[in-house]
Amino acid sequence: MAQSVSSPGTRGPHTPSQLDLFAATAQAYMDQSGASNTEIYEAVADRLGIDPGAHVAPVGADGVRYNLFHRNVRWVQQSLKKDGLLERVPDERGIWRLTGKGRFRLQEWQAPGTGLVAFSTRLGVAILGDCRAVFRQVDAPIALCITSPPYPLASPRAYGNKSGDEYIDFICEALEPIVASLKTGGSLVLNISNDIFERGSPARSLYREKLVLALAERLGLFKMDEIIWHNRQKAPGPTQWACKTRQQLTVAWEPLYWFTNDPQRCESDNRRVLQPHTERHAQMLAEGGERRARASSDGAHAVRPGSSYVNATPGRIPGNVFEAGHTCAGRNQVQRYAKAHGLPPHGAMFPERLVEFFVEFLTQADELVVDPFSGGGTVAAVAERLGREWIATDLMLEYMQAAGAARFCPDDAWFNPALWHRESDALRPRQLAAA
């Protein structure tokens, strides 16, 4: 049986994706632990709004008629059992219930190969789980993966990280299923840190050069550019080498590596992200173009009156340095929600403007954008706003809780009641007991 999920927006009420089915089945067990299979089938069908009778079809060479919907639900049951999330109720035939582990984990949802739908909208789905497992189940064409994995920091952040060659392997393993589903000419934008140093040394690690080579050699990607994200709000550092020994300059930028699987057919289009002309340039265009003759010292670039800049253009092509601080309204909203509900703050969110730029430059409406390391949910929120389908995963329950509730409205999204409860109009994160 295919263990794949379709793109969230392409599913209809009568053709549930595996992820919908998974969420609905897990939810049915959450709602009525110890229910019979018949009760579970009914609950899942109700939740998904489908008629199980419409899914009876002949299967195999002998054409025996099976209920494919029931078979799909049983597949989900098997996956839950395999992962130790469901257990047989003692002395009861065919009756199953969630295990303690199945119900909740405080820090991580440990369900390899599955993941739990945390919330979903008409356009997208946020899944609590390990991206390496979840994206193996996705076979919808991905137009853009824009993501920022944990950095290989010497002092790990709250969500942990790998270092050295292990880090390169980890990133390749995480991206491999996504690259496999990348549509022809699709893009990957990877934000990593430039500020990783050799232990006890002011020399920078060469991990990013190694990673770029690994992505080209192992995953067959082509590097389109290394765009500089210049962030004037970055805290000064590294303290040891810039402030104490004074051997280094202070940090001010991060790379955004842009890759594609087919450079000739890459679907980027800078006309979607043109910027306004400067006042001076607009005035020159209004006056009919350049009036003075100028040339660079070697004559390679010359402008002439009457022929240069005479045709009005709709805007300025952006340069490949992106200027943005890391704060923005969406990030502040997530931090405020986390603080108000005793959740840990997320320390490394994208500014929304940066994600907007790449989503518009690299995709069109309705295409699928994914973020395997979604953290505070910036990519999900921006993709939703710009009318793109999206899939976002994160391993940390608390980040999912803050991102979902702070960025999405309970009236426009389905929120897994295992993770939040609703009090009048507000969503409150559930305090989940450790298994």
Ligand X SMILES: C[S@@+](CC[C@H](N)C(=O)[O-])C[C@H]1O[C@@H](n2cnc3c(N)ncnc32)[C@H](O)[C@@H]1O
User: Rule CB under 6 A: which residues touch ligand X?
Assistant: 130-132, 148-150, 159, 346, 348-350, 372-376, 378, 393-396, 399
**Could you give the CA distance from residue 72 to residue 48 in angstroms, rounded to a whole number?**
13
State the nearest-atom distance from the C-beta of 373 to ligand X, in Å. 3
Task: Using alpha carbons, select from 390, 388, 392, 391 the residue that is nearest to residue 366.
Answer: 388
The answer to whether 82 and 66 are in contact (CB under 8 A) is no
What minimum distance in Å lies between the beta carbon of 331 and ligand X? Answer: 8
Q: How far is the CB of 399 from ligand X (least distance, A)?
A: 5
Indicate the residue among 121 and 378 with the shorter CB distance to ligand X. 378
Q: Closest Cα partner for 59 from 74, 69, 73, 49?
A: 69
**46 vs 169 by CB, closer to ligand X:** 169
Amino acid sitting at position 136? R
Long-range contacts of 234-240 (CB under 8 A, 24+ apart): 234/326, 237/195, 238/195, 238/197, 238/202, 240/202
CB nearest ligand X: which residue? 375
Q: Considering only CA atoms, which of 176, 217, 215, 158 is closest in space to residue 192?
A: 215
373 DSSP assignment: S
Min dist CB 158 to ligand X, Å, is: 8
Bridge partners of residue 228, in order along the sequence: 255, 321
Nearest approach, Cβ of 156 to ligand X (angstroms)?
Answer: 11
Cβ-based nearer residue to ligand X, 395 or 418: 395
**Cα separation of 104 and 88, whole Å?**
18
Q: Which of residues 44 and 215 has its CB atom nearest to ligand X in the complex?
A: 215
Residue 118 beta carbon to ligand X: minimum distance, rounded to whole angstroms: 12
Task: State both tokens at 324.
Answer: 């943005």
Residue (28 or 211) nearer to ligand X, CB: 211
- The nearer residue to ligand X, 24 or 379, going by C-beta atoms, is 379
The 8 Å CB, 24+ separation contacts for 235-242 are: 237/195, 238/195, 238/197, 238/202, 240/202, 241/197, 241/202
Q: Which is nearer to ligand X, 177 or 375 (CB)?
A: 375
Using the Cα atoms of residue 17, residue 18, residue 24 and residue 28 in order, give the sign of their dihedral. positive
- Closest CA relative to residue 365, chosen from 345, 389, 336: 389
| C-alpha dist (Å) from residue 247 to 69, 196, 239, 242 | 65, 15, 11, 6
**CA 104/CA 433 separation, integer angstroms:** 7
C-beta of 81 vs 326, nearer to ligand X:
326
Cβ at position 392, least distance to ligand X in Å: 9
Least Cβ distance, residue 417 to ligand X (angstroms): 22
Between 96 and 399, CB nearer to ligand X: 399
Distances (CA, A) of 12 to 17, 181, 382, 385: 9, 21, 24, 21
- Shortest Cβ distance from residue 356 to ligand X (Å)? 12
Across the chain, how many H-helices and E-strands are there?
Answer: 12, 18
